[in-house]
Amino acid sequence: MQADLLGIGEFARRSGLTVKALRYYDRIGLLEPAQTSRDTNFRRYRRDQIASARLIAKLRSVGVPIEEIRLALTDPSGEAVSQILGSHRQRLQARAARLAGDLHRLQHLLIEGEDTNMTGNASGESPTLDPEAERRLGADLFNEVWRFLELENRSTEEDDLMVHMAHASAYHWRRVGKAENFARSEWQCSRVYSVLGRAEPALHHARRSLELCERNGIGDFDLAFAYEALARAHALAGDAGQARHMTELARAACEHIADPEDKQIALADLETIPGTLHF
């Protein structure tokens, strides 16, 4: 029987977990050794526990909570793992949306601080609303869209509201904003449609975002996110070649983002594109 047991060091090497992690999982009852010496506290594991340990390692590598891993280990069919990964993906997408939303909201605030006395608009027409009121509407609607994007479970009605608010925000920014606002509005419309699984409008607005960046010499994170939107939309449309190409362009653009934190947010957002780990 002893010959069939593995010491903690050998078990760690075969499972992909560290000795420290194995001791921790023993303490919390997630993965208990088959045998523990009372005198030395030396732990030994059965060979058939390697599969469970490897599953723990894989799930922890993507941040799945301990209690959900515990549930996965009780389901030998593997169905629980698929459900857990699906739910965790939604959480990660919501988290990525929150980070990207904070970045875009910050850029709106910075632009507002640069120019708070705008009296004209992009179309040359006189706005019905006071320009500052219209700017505030554009920003508030933009932020409200992010609130909906960050929800893990939206209703059909909330999906519809999110679409309408994204376009309403774009409308107001078109009247009193700058080229950067136009590009970000088109990007947000693309993200909304990608989240909703609608490839055609997602591609349309992503292309408009990139066109605006290129036409107006806009770089930094705006250009990186324009490529990201195209990569996400192409992946949704099933065009792996274009998705791969745009992801590579987005990563290259990220190298020119001045702020290190903005760069990390953009790179992290790219990792949420379906299939991006295979590119």
Domain borders along the chain are 2-74, 90-278
Please give the full DSSP string across 207-272, using - where no structure is assigned.
HHHHHHHHHTT--HHHHHHHHHHHHHHHHHHT-HHHHHHHHHHHHHHHTT-SSHHHHHHHHHHHTT
CB 109 within 8 A of CB 101: no
Quick one: pLDDT band at residue 279, thresholds 50, 70, 90?
very low
**Which whole number is the average pLDDT over 185-193?**
96
Q: Is the pLDDT of residue 117 over 50?
A: no
pLDDT, residue 120, reads 43
**Which whole number is the average pLDDT over 220-227?**
93
Quick one: pLDDT band at residue 122, thresholds 50, 70, 90?
very low
Q: Is the pLDDT of residue 8 over 70?
A: yes
Q: Pairing mode, if any, of strands 35-36 and 43-46?
A: antiparallel
The CATH architecture that domain 2-74 belongs to is Orthogonal Bundle (1.10)
Q: Is the pTM of this model over 0.85?
A: no
List phi, psi (to 5°) of 127: -70, 145
110: CB partners within 8 A, 6+ apart = none
Cα–Cα dist 66/59, whole Å? 9
State the average pLDDT for the chain.
85
pLDDT, residue 116, reads 43
pLDDT, residue 95, reads 72
**Which whole number is the average pLDDT over 36-44?**
84
Q: Which CATH class is domain 90-278?
A: mainly alpha
The answer to whether the Cα torsion of 211, 216, 255, 62 is positive or negative is negative
